[in-house]
Chains A and B, each alone.
Chain A
Amino acid sequence: AQSVTQLDSHVSVSEGTPVLLRCNYSSSYSPSLFWYVQHPNKGLQLLLKYTSAATLVKGINGFEAEFKKSETSFHLTKPSAHMSDAAEYFCVVDDGGGYNKLIFGAGTRLAVHP
């Protein structure tokens, strides 16, 4: 069965410094992977997705993620944090059952300090 583990429940950075949100996945096949962002009391917005094309995926708002099969990781990065990046981030894997069922990680709350 597919699963996803977000290694940090909270991450705190200063504005202008790099962001790293870590995600490991478990899958018996080549998965589709996603990062979504959720601002307080809002719905989720897709940041980026990996679907077996380029292993380095660029998303919106300067975020990118690298698919590393050997490490079963899909970490999210951004070179320079902005105050507006403060939110909850979810790493997500497609469960492979053919019905687009998504399996969500528990989330990482990113705090950005001035």
Chain B
Amino acid sequence: DGGITQSPKYLFRKEGQNVTLSCEQNLNHDAMYWYRQDPGQGLRLIYYSQIVNDFQKGDIAEGYSVSREKKESFPLTVTSAQKNPTAFYLCASSIAVGLLFYEQFFGPGTRLTVL
């Protein structure tokens, strides 16, 4: 089955630790995205990548880092510099054809809790 997988589903971290969230897609999509969701709020964009080895900061990139070494994978690292990392993290991907992008497909999410 084609889709987006995120692991783990739940993640607990102690303050001061870095943690990496996994996102893998087998949809052959060019573009991938990371969002953060807080209770009562819409999604906010952390980072996005249109092609391999290239990515751009979104609206709330401080305290996060990403890499895009393979088309299928777009891991997100939450660093100790992120002041309030407890949230629900969603990964998405979409087809890109030239300058045209199509709807984004979302993974099931990872809930990160900082203890």
B-contacting residues of A (Cβ < 8 Å)? 9, 34, 36, 41-46, 49, 90, 94, 98-102, 104-107
Contacts and interface: CB of A to CB of B under 8 A. Distances in A.
Contacts of A44: 43, 90, 92, 106
Interface of B: 4, 6, 31, 40-45, 48, 50, 56, 58, 88, 90, 92, 94, 96, 99, 101-109, 111
Given A99-B56, A100-B94, A45 B45 contact: no
Given A99-B48, A100-B31, A100-B96, A105 B106 contact: no
A102 B30 CA distance: 16
B48 A101 contact: yes
5 contacts: A34-B103, A36-B106, A45-B106, A100-B31, A106-B40
Q: What 4 A-B pairs are tightest by C-beta distance, nearest first?
A: A104-B42, A100-B101, A43-B106, A44-B106
Contacts of A99: 31, 48, 50, 56, 101
Contacts of A41: 88, 109, 111
Contact of A9 (B40, B106, B107): B40
Contacts of B106: 36, 43-45
A32 to B, nearest CB: 9
A43 B42 contact: no
Contact of A101 (B40, B58, B109): B58
B108 A42 contact: yes
A90 B42 contact: yes
Nearest to A90: B42
B108 A107 contact: no
A98 B98 CA distance: 10
Given A43-B106, A90-B42, A106-B42, 6 more contacts: A44-B92, A45-B106, A49-B103, A98-B99, A102-B43, A107-B42
